[in-house]
Chain A
Amino acid sequence: MKNKNILFLFIFLGFAMNISAQKLISKNGHIRFYSHTPVEDIEANNFQVVSILDPETGSVQFTLLIKSFEFQKKLMQEHFNENYMESDEYPKASFTGQINNLSEINFEKDGNYSAKVSGDLTIHGVTKKINTPGTIIVSKDKVTATAVLIVLPEDYNITIPDVVKEKIAKEVEVTIDVSYNKN
């Protein structure tokens, strides 16, 4: 019986620590980018975005594989990987940052909260500091984080040749939509 008590103690301890260290994890976040010009609209979606959000500290991380972006035009997807993002050399894009107004967000209470996020965005091997507003929606069984930000390809050393300058926007709209399960 002594063993049994120790076991329960361990289980209890385990769960206690589990709860205090609870981070929100998403394995199927969605990031979409959209480039609009009068000549052509280009859209790609990545449904394999992983993210960790720590409600305790407010730290947020996103990462994804460039190759997981899906285009309607397969040739465009190939060129995106081969000519623009050079995904063999730079396979990932990532963001590591912080929610700056963490005190205004109550992860225990349902509601829509606006979040101010800042951090380092790494694309194509280039890291830039960014600031972006976002929204955090807390509901009974999940937390959803959304944000829209503008990314300039030239900031990340992504060169666009003259022949396609008309087709690729200087400012690319990136939409982030990530749901974390609460448990």
Chain B
Amino acid sequence: MKFFKSGSIVFILFFPFILSAQDIDQLLEEVTGNTTEYTIATFKSTRIVSGHSIERMQKSQLDFRISHRFGEVNRGGYEFWGLDQSSVRFSLEYGITDWLMAGLGRSSYEKTYDGFVKFSILRQSKGEQNMPVSLSYLTSAALNTLKWEKPGELPYTDRFSYVHQLLVARKFNERLSLEFNPTYVHRNLVATELDPNDIWAAGVGGRFKLSKRVSINIEYYYVVPPLHDYRSLKTYNPLSVGFDIETGGHVFQLHFTNSLAMIEKGFIGETTGSWLDGGIHFGFNISRVFALNK
């Protein structure tokens, strides 16, 4: 009887009591148990306005996006305050796994094709594992296919530009989420020799929910000026303010922004509108999500 230590005697004695005293909440915890609870819905959509949010499409979910930016509102009544002009981007964006998504898009802006990959490195969570923020990485490549008006041929490699971005976000509570996006943009070809090929920028964005289905979003990118600034284009830092309206399977994003482009390369490096001069575009993104599983 050596193997019956006093501890096991006590255990056997009390075993039935342990079993009967087990209450249903304990049982539930045992099953779903010490799990880590990951934060969901930090933002309503994969974009805050023009730039990316921390959100991804989940596995097998396909997002069809149609985005428009109208002309600048300071164009006056003849252009119907910009609404006569329109710049558009269509894209299909897909969740390959829960942590990895990829998308392809086409913008009328410089007849650009773009492809991107975004994946999650850390997810905000509480419970077993506590993580104060979510962290993702985004990389994209854009190909400008405008006709080359100057003499000679332009090699295709010169038409590419690349973006690397880290996304750090935190959902503070049901209403408030904030995000910080350090960004690097590389352009293979720039307008003049004095224009920088590399641009660094720091994006900040946030949303505040006004109701369960409506939030107000703000996005701003501070573009770090080059040390020796001889940029040929007078550009401004992009600032956008808008609303997200979610109606079941759709998210409508309506906003005002001083940038025309809807990809990082464009709105970070080539925003020429100024809020102070009314160089603002009205725009919208429509997101429709299809579940392709089953």
> What's the nearest-Cβ distance from chain B to residue A181, in Å?
13
- Of all chain B residues, the one with the shortest Cβ separation from A168 is B248
- Of all chain A residues, the one with the shortest Cβ separation from B291 is A73
Question: Known pairs A78-B41, A167-B248. 20 more at Cβ < 8 A?
Answer: A10-B13, A13-B13, A17-B16, A18-B16, A18-B19, A21-B16, A48-B28, A51-B24, A52-B24, A61-B24, A65-B28, A72-B294, A73-B291, A75-B58, A75-B61, A75-B249, A76-B248, A82-B212, A161-B213, A164-B247
Interface assignment of B31: CB less than 8 Å from any CB of chain A: yes
- Contact A63 B19, beta carbon cutoff 8 Å: no
- Contact B58 A92, beta carbon cutoff 8 Å: no
- Contact B59 A50, beta carbon cutoff 8 Å: no
- Contact B28 A75, beta carbon cutoff 8 Å: no
> Per-position contact with A for B183-214: 1 when CB-CB < 8 Å, else 0?
00000000000000000000000000000110
> What's the nearest-Cβ distance from chain B to residue A70, in Å?
11
Interface set, chain B 1-38, CB cutoff 8 A to A: 1, 4, 9, 12-17, 19-20, 22, 24-25, 27-28, 30-32, 37
With A7-B4, A11-B12, A14-B15 already in contact, the answer to whether A88 and B212 are too (CB < 8 A) is no
Interface assignment of B40: CB less than 8 Å from any CB of chain A: yes
B interface vs A, CB < 8 Å?
Answer: 1, 4, 9, 12-17, 19-20, 22, 24-25, 27-28, 30-32, 37, 40-41, 58-59, 61, 95, 174, 212-213, 246-249, 289, 291, 293-294
- Contact B291 A82, beta carbon cutoff 8 Å: no
Give Cα distance in the complex from A4 to B9, angstroms.
11
Interface centre among A7, A62, A167 (most CB of B within 10 A): A7
- Contact A74 B291, beta carbon cutoff 8 Å: yes
Contacts of A68 in B (CB 8 A): 32
Contacts of B61 in A (CB 8 A): 73-75
Contacts of B12 in A (CB 8 A): 10-11, 14
Contacts of B30 in A (CB 8 A): 27, 50
Contacts of A51 in B (CB 8 A): 24
Closest 5 CB pairs of A and B: A18-B16, A74-B58, A73-B291, A17-B16, A21-B20
